[in-house]
Amino acid sequence: MPLVDMPLPQLLEYSGRNPKPDNFDAFWDSSIAEMKAIDAQVELTPHALDAPFAECYDLRFTGVGGARVYAKYLRPKPIENKRVEKPHPALVMFHGYSGNSGDWNDKLNYVARGYAVAALDSRGQGGKSEDVGGTIGNTLHGHIIRGLDNAINGAPEKLYFRNVFLDCAQLAGIVMDFPEVDATRVGATGGSQGGGLTLACAALEPRVKLAAPIFPFLCDYQRVWEMDLAVHAYEELKTYFRHFDPTHQRESEIWNALGYIDNQHLAPRIQAEVLMPIGMVDTICPPSTQYAAFNKIQSKKSTLIYPDFGHEGLPGSGDEIYNFLGKL
């Protein structure tokens, strides 16, 4: 097997490098309380799609900070003349960094299976959700470091990804509250950033039953830096140091602040069963960063290991995830 990171036996024991802030759990407990106190003002607007078995809606809700957050929502069309429709399972889906929730049609396989599907647009990225951190609309890049100075100075609630993590959990809770959904049968999935958001969603909304994060982003930032892989999706780490701390005098403060949005520290909260596909030559989200989170998950869990694959399509993983989420 090619090697760009630790050998597998070491990965299985790896516990991460990025520090966990002392008040991490209190911070997230208060953040969840803030989220639950919001009047979400959920709005569903019908969306036309030629899918005779599905009803499609533009879903909007108010998230933390007052942002209007967007998701695609699809559900099975009720069967005519059927008196009682039993609540059905649901799936929340998350996209890759700077992207969006994608086309409607690629969710229909789960709707045909009898699932509702909600696919989030992350704030200020390539979709329709607002980023109200100074602007409304698309902010596209620099999201890991957005709010980092605030966090270093004692206000980690200003971190961009803190708000996105909460959006994910809030969306899952909204879907669970829909009368057509069985709240005990809800799953989450996504790849790269979507994998990191899947972990965050399952951690912050512990009712999520099954989670399938694919090579998750947003884990163990210090390890990424030490591997000299602060490029591509993590490039803004290098940019931040070069522009705002060129002699690394604040390095320990920076890593500590980023610890608030490090999924490895949220992972112990997960109660869902987890299936995590991992490419072992991934230089975008190195395997060790993924294992830093995976190894801290206390619930039932398993990996799909691809020895010769990186941050790319993993053959067969889609079918494996489809079967896994079929247990809802």
Confidence at residue 136, expressed as pLDDT on a 0 to 100 scale? 65
Which tokens hold the place of 5?
Answer: 């990171």
What are the extents of the domains in the chain?
Answer: 8-325
64 phi, psi to nearest 5 deg: -60, 145
Contact 320, 291 (CB under 8 A): no
**Nearest C-alpha neighbor of 129 from the set 174, 190, 71, 175:** 71
> What's the sign of the alpha-carbon dihedral 203, 310, 285, 146?
negative
Q: Measured between alpha carbons, how far is 220 from 267 in angstroms, rounded to an integer?
A: 12
Q: Measured between alpha carbons, how far is 326 from 16 in angstroms, rounded to an integer?
A: 32
Confidence at residue 167, expressed as pLDDT on a 0 to 100 scale? 98
Q: Measured between alpha carbons, how far is 231 from 284 in angstroms, rounded to an integer?
A: 8
Confidence at residue 133, expressed as pLDDT on a 0 to 100 scale? 80
Q: Report the length, in residues, of the chain.
A: 328
What angle is formed at CA 321 by the lines to CA 316 and CA 323, rounded to 5 degrees? 100
Which tokens hold the place of 129?
Answer: 């959700």
Contact 174, 38 (CB under 8 A): no
Within the chain, how many helices (H) and strands (E) appear? 12, 9
**Nearest C-alpha neighbor of 208 from the set 265, 264, 169, 156:** 169
Cβ atoms within 10 Å of 150's Cβ, excluding its own: 15
Q: At what angle do helices 160-177 and 193-204 cross, to 10 degrees?
A: 60
Helices in the chain by DSSP H: which ranges?
8-11, 24-36, 108-112, 148-152, 160-177, 193-204, 221-226, 235-244, 251-258, 263-266, 287-294, 317-325
Residues noted as catalytic? 192, 282, 311
Domain 8-325 has CATH 3.60.150.10: no
Cβ atoms within 10 Å of 151's Cβ, excluding its own: 25
> What's the sign of the alpha-carbon dihedral 234, 235, 241, 244?
negative
Local structure of 70: helix, strand or coil: strand
Strand 301-306 relative to strand 43-46, pairing: unpaired
Contact 141, 193 (CB under 8 A): no
Which tokens hold the place of 120?
Answer: 């989030």
Q: Measured between alpha carbons, how far is 104 from 218 in angstroms, rounded to an integer?
A: 26
The 3-state DSSP composition of the chain as helix, strand, coil percent (nearest 5) reads: 35, 20, 45
Contact 203, 191 (CB under 8 A): no
Q: Measured between alpha carbons, how far is 147 from 234 in angstroms, rounded to an integer?
A: 16
Which tokens hold the place of 168?
Answer: 């994910």
pTM, to two decimals:
0.97
Nearest-Å Rg of the Cα atoms of the chain is 19
For the chain (328 residues), the mean pLDDT of every run of 10, in chain order, is 86 97 98 98 97 97 97 91 81 97 98 97 95 74 91 95 98 98 98 98 98 98 96 92 95 97 98 98 97 98 97 98 98
Confidence at residue 79, expressed as pLDDT on a 0 to 100 scale? 76
